[in-house]
C-alpha cells in the first residue's frame, strides 16, 4: 500500500465498482449507495489461481450478501452457515489471507468470515487453503460493509481490522474504514463485550481510530495503543512489508459496550 491508500491504484484515482469494470450494483432498498475506492483486480491471475476462484470459492463463499443477491437484506442464517460454532469472528480486508488462515487453524471451533474485495488476494487465500480443510472458514469476496448489513444483530464475538488502507491525504479521510458510519455497522453486528482488534503502521490512522472510538459510548478502548502484538499473533503480509521498510506497527483493542451509540 502506498501513500494514497491502496498502492495498487494510480495516484488519487478512485476505482469504483463501475470504474473497475464491474456492473454497478442496484442500490438496496433505503437507497444506500457505497463506493469502494480500492482496487478489485491486480495482475492477470495464473490459470491455477483463476480455477480456484471458479471452483473452490463456491464452497467457501457466503450466499446472499451483496444487494443484487439479497435486495431485501434478509439476515444470514449464521447457525446454518457455521453449525456448532462456539463463536463468530470476522476479518475485514484479509489481503492474502495469512492471518485469516492461521486464525482459522488455531481456533477450529470458531466460525470465521474473511472479507476481501481484491480478487488476487482471494485467490491467494484459496491457494493457501488447498488441502487444509478448515470448514469453519467462509469468505465474502467483496466489501465488508455489505456483509455487516446482513449479519444478525449481536452475532460477532471478535472483529479484526488489520492494516486498513491508510488514505493519508486529508481529502481522502472519509475513505478510511474507521468512520462513524462503519462503526455504527460494527456496533450493531457485535455482541456486548465483543472485541475489535485494529493494527496499523500509520500513526495518524491510530490517532484517527482512537478519536473516533472515544467519541462513542458503544465502544471502549481497552488500555491504549500498544507496540506488542496479541498473543499467538501470526503477522500479516502487509505488516512484514512495513517492518522491512522500518515502520512500527501499533495494536489496539476496543470492546463493544457498554453504551448504545454516540
Can you tell me the distance from the alpha carbon of 3 to that of 15, in angstroms, rounded to the nearest whole number? 16
Least separation in angstroms between CB 258 and ligand SAM? 27
- Among 28, 121, 141, 157, which residue interacts with ligand SAM (rule: CB under 6 A)? 121
Among the listed ranges 48-56, 69-77, 90-98, 184-192, the one in contact with ligand SAM (CB under 6 A) is: 90-98
Host H or E run for residue 167:
none
Q: Is 193 exposed, middle or buried (0-12, 13-18, 19+ CB in 10 A)?
A: exposed
Q: Report residue 136 CA to chain centroid gap.
A: 17
Can you tell me the distance from the alpha carbon of 50 to that of 123, in angstroms, rounded to the nearest whole number? 7
User: Among 4, 66, 149, 165, which one carries the catalytic annotation?
Assistant: 165
Q: Which is nearer to ligand SAM, 117 or 157 (CB)?
A: 117
Q: Which is nearer to ligand SAM, 116 or 218 (CB)?
A: 116
Residue 243: left if φ>0, alpha if ψ -120 to 50, beta else—which one? alpha
Give the total of residues touching ligand SAM (CB under 6 A): 24
Q: Which is nearer to ligand SAM, 28 or 121 (CB)?
A: 121
- Among 4, 66, 149, 165, which residue interacts with ligand SAM (rule: CB under 6 A)? 165
Prior bond to 54 cis, omega within 30?
A: no
Collapsing DSSP states into helix, strand and coil, what is residue 67? coil
Binding track over 228-247 against ligand SAM, x by CB under 6 A? --------xxxx--------
Q: Give the active site residues.
A: 165
Binding site residues, ligand SAM, CB under 6 A:
1, 6, 38, 92-95, 115-118, 121, 143-145, 162-165, 177, 236-239
Amino acid at each position: 500500500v502506498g501513500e494514497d491508500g491502496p498502492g495498487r491504484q494510480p495516484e488519487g484515482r478512485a476505482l469504483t465498482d463501475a470504474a473497475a469494470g464491474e456492473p454497478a450494483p442496484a442500490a438496496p432498498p433505503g437507497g444506500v449507495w457505497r463506493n469502494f475506492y480500492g482496487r478489485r483486480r491486480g495482475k492477470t491471475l495464473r490459470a491455477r489461481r483463476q480455477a480456484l476462484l471458479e471452483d473452490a470459492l463456491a464452497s467457501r463463499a457466503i450466499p446472499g450478501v451483496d444487494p443484487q443477491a439479497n435486495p431485501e437484506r434478509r439476515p444470514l442464517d449464521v447457525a446454518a452457515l457455521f453449525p456448532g460454532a462456539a463463536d463468530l469472528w470476522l476479518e475485514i480486508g484479509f489481503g492474502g489471507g495469512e492471518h485469516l488462515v492461521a486464525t482459522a487453524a488455531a481456533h477450529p471451533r470458531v466460525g470465521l468470515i474473511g472479507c476481501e474485495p481484491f480478487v488476487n488476494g482471494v485467490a491467494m487465500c484459496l491457494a493457501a487453503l488447498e488441502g487444509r480443510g478448515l470448514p469453519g472458514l467462509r469468505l465474502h469476496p467483496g466489501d465488508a460493509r455489505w456483509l455487516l448489513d446482513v449479519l444478525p444483530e449481536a452475532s460477532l464475538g471478535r472483529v479484526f481490522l488489520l492494516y486498513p488502507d491508510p488514505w493519508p491525504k486529508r481529502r481522502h479521510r472519509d475513505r478510511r474504514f474507521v468512520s462513524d458510519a462503519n462503526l455504527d455497522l460494527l456496533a450493531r453486528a457485535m455482541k456486548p463485550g465483543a472485541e475489535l482488534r485494529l493494527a496499523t503502521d500509520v500513526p495518524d490512522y491510530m490517532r484517527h481510530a482512537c478519536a473516533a472510538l472515544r467519541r462513542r459510548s458503544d465502544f471502549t478502548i481497552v488500555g491504549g495503543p500498544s507496540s506488542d502484538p496479541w498473543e499467538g499473533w501470526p503477522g500479516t503480509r502487509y505488516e512484514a512489508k512495513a517492518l522491512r521498510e522500518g515502520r512500527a506497527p501499533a495494536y489496539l483493542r476496543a470492546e463493544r459496550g457498554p453504551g448504545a451509540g454516540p
